[in-house]
Structure 1
């Protein structure tokens, strides 16, 4: 009997505790938030270099030891100038051998021609057979063909001898050297790089998402770092078709309009798009929740009765469309309006409809944190 009374008492105490727990309101969680506002997205600038649009790597067509290199980086050259030479001993011997072979073949052809004339005379007098004349003529034709082949070999050898000299195909400035005298260079190995001074491009590396959004012939402003107050205009000329797999940037080339002497080849410049700042709502990437391929934000709604007191409210999950904005921010394309308040931290631990307490130091204007 006593045992039954004890069990009943314990059950009663548990029921009372459950009722008290059910009557206890859930804890209100503090949340960091900001009121979104439309602001201007600053135009991002990039650092690049000035490069020639047309340049070429000069190389020898045959293997050889580099004997001379008459130019260095920064030198100006004209079309036809002698740039470098390689050891031509072997090539010269090959040309001489071809000359000797040609002389031998010509002598054989003259001998065959004399044989044909002699057999024709004998055939006229009736002392030589017709077949002997045919054989003599065939021998002459073979000797004549050998002469033509030897002439072609000599022309080829002399042409190869000309490969020992490397000459500029156009006027320009030397931007790089790839071999030093005494070094053995292979066929096709770059010895000197020559670039035409004009036209010139400003070359920058731009984030993939930003480069993909550029329109053809987008205007840019290009300024030398040594004189940032003297910018010139430029226009988009080329975008690399693929992004660098490591940096996820694309090489962008901007054609310069009437560049001054400040924009010399190899100089450093600052480049930015010549466009007005774009008004938009942007949020830190940490404020946007990604789920199942979609983007969402937590919209904070403050209860009217709590505005003057603890500023309590609740959060609601809302889908939004976003686009990259650079510097760790996302541009809100649709889904949010200016004046709404969103949670900007701890978005992965909130639940739809959860009660929250807006921190007293939260900004009423998200221009600085989530503009």
Structure 2
């Protein structure tokens, strides 16, 4: 009995030893990583310009030679002011020709009406056939149609004559001119551009990733370059839907509500985002592990104070919430804090609790994951 018990114990010990030999821990491997840093976009300044929100490019509706342009860039205009005129000689002659044509067509209609009355009288006395009466009535109808056409031509000529003047449709300031007196301008070609002084926007271009991280109505600090200490607070009004294909920047329009006189149209301003709303964490997409049960990153526990060339640590899986940031990066909404280290390569080959080696030159304090 004792011998059988001892044999059973020996067999159990052998099985445990075999199991420990088969359960080999994952190898220690080097891993590319970076420390998470808060990217404070509020510390970044952008240079932009003050531009009107509403402006209109005014041109003539007819082809002609520009005779006068009464305004220049920077002039204030009021509703109804005449801004430019065309040479109206040709159009005036066209009106006179149309009036003469209309008089001729009306005379032809009266003559056709007289003919109809005469043929009707002859038909009633039996001295004219029915065909003559039909021909007279057809001629009268044609004369009436010709009169209506001439009237339309005259109205068109008079309308063209009226459009030899450009008038301001609202109070504003001239921001651009497109033609000089003596120049022939086409219909619709811009001659004068006027803009409403208010409301105004500050226009800047920012990196694509930053634009994606800004919430609607985000506050910005806007200051004129000639007086940096006289800043105002503006709010994000519009983000360009697409990035510039060359610079990979997106245009922002920041509403300036009641700015002082220093914020003139066309003036240069410095803009920076409010620090309380601009802080964000972004990571490259390669650092994100997507699985059926969620989105994760590998957080590396390592002695950050050590300056050794190769520091050992371990990885742990951490669930996070992300949002698009553009340019191959994702914004981390929750799950990470500044100062933590995450793996940014090989995320599909790591195991929870695996030992890793972190080289000292793997992005320490460089803000690679900002």
TM-score normalised per structure 2: 0.70
Match in the other structure for 1:108: 108
- In the alignment, does 2:64 pair up with 1:64? yes
Aligned with 1:251: secondary structure?
strand
Q: Provide the rounded CA distance (Å) in 2 between the counterparts of 1:68 and 1:241.
A: 41
- In the alignment, does 2:74 pair up with 1:41? no
Aligned with 2:113: secondary structure?
helix
Q: Is the 8 A contact 2:66 2:181 kept in 1?
A: yes
> Structure 1 residues 112 and 333 mapped into 2: Cα distance closer, same or farther (>3 Å)?
closer
> Structure 1 residues 172 and 134 mapped into 2: Cα distance closer, same or farther (>3 Å)?
same
Q: Provide the rounded CA distance (Å) in 1 between the counterparts of 2:313 and 2:204.
A: 43
- In the alignment, does 2:269 pair up with 1:250? no
> Structure 1 residues 358 and 205 mapped into 2: Cα distance closer, same or farther (>3 Å)?
closer
Q: Provide the rounded CA distance (Å) in 2 between the counterparts of 1:370 and 1:163.
A: 61
> Structure 1 residues 75 and 312 mapped into 2: Cα distance closer, same or farther (>3 Å)?
closer
Q: Provide the rounded CA distance (Å) in 2 between the counterparts of 1:134 and 1:357.
A: 107
- In the alignment, does 2:116 pair up with 1:120? no
Match in the other structure for 1:314: 312
- In the alignment, does 2:176 pair up with 1:176? yes
Match in the other structure for 1:25: none
Q: CA RMSD in A?
A: 4.5
Match in the other structure for 1:139: 139
Match in the other structure for 2:4: none
- In the alignment, does 2:204 pair up with 1:204? yes
Q: Is the 8 A contact 2:41 2:272 kept in 1?
A: no
Match in the other structure for 1:167: 167
After superposition, the C-alpha distances for 1:222-270 in whole angstroms (9 at most, x for unaligned) are: 2222223232232222111111101111111122212222222111222
Q: Provide the rounded CA distance (Å) in 2 between the counterparts of 1:196 and 1:60.
A: 20
**1:273-352 to 2 correspondences below 5 Å:** 273-276=273-276, 301=302, 313-314=311-312
Match in the other structure for 2:234: 234
Match in the other structure for 2:351: none
Match in the other structure for 1:53: 53
Q: Is the 8 A contact 1:203 1:254 kept in 2?
A: yes
Aligned with 1:227: secondary structure?
coil
Match in the other structure for 1:154: 154
Q: Provide the rounded CA distance (Å) in 1 between the counterparts of 2:198 and 2:359.
A: 64
After superposition, the C-alpha distances for 1:113-139 in whole angstroms (9 at most, x for unaligned) are: 222222233334443334333322222
Aligned with 2:58: secondary structure?
strand
> Structure 1 residues 223 and 194 mapped into 2: Cα distance closer, same or farther (>3 Å)?
same
Q: Is the 8 A contact 1:63 1:187 kept in 2?
A: yes
Q: Which runs of 5+ in 1 are unaligned?
A: 1-32, 345-351
The number of residue pairs the alignment matches comes to: 328
Q: Which runs of 5+ in 2 are unaligned?
A: 1-32, 345-353
Q: Provide the rounded CA distance (Å) in 1 between the counterparts of 2:367 and 2:132.
A: 108
Q: Provide the rounded CA distance (Å) in 2 between the counterparts of 1:127 and 1:273.
A: 98
1:299, CA displacement in angstroms?
5.3
TM-score normalised per structure 1: 0.70
Q: Provide the rounded CA distance (Å) in 2 between the counterparts of 1:229 and 1:238.
A: 26
After superposition, the C-alpha distances for 1:163-215 in whole angstroms (9 at most, x for unaligned) are: 32222222211100111112222222111111111221111112111112222
Q: Provide the rounded CA distance (Å) in 1 between the counterparts of 2:330 and 2:160.
A: 62
Q: Provide the rounded CA distance (Å) in 2 between the counterparts of 1:259 and 1:57.
A: 25
Match in the other structure for 1:349: none
Q: Provide the rounded CA distance (Å) in 1 between the counterparts of 2:289 and 2:341.
A: 24
Q: Is the 8 A contact 1:40 1:277 kept in 2?
A: no
> Structure 1 residues 40 and 310 mapped into 2: Cα distance closer, same or farther (>3 Å)?
closer
Q: Is the 8 A contact 2:218 2:277 kept in 1?
A: no
**1:82-93 to 2 correspondences below 5 Å:** 82-93=82-93
1:370, CA displacement in angstroms?
8.9
Q: Is the 8 A contact 1:318 1:335 kept in 2?
A: no
Q: Provide the rounded CA distance (Å) in 1 between the counterparts of 2:176 and 2:274.
A: 33
Q: Is the 8 A contact 2:236 2:253 kept in 1?
A: yes
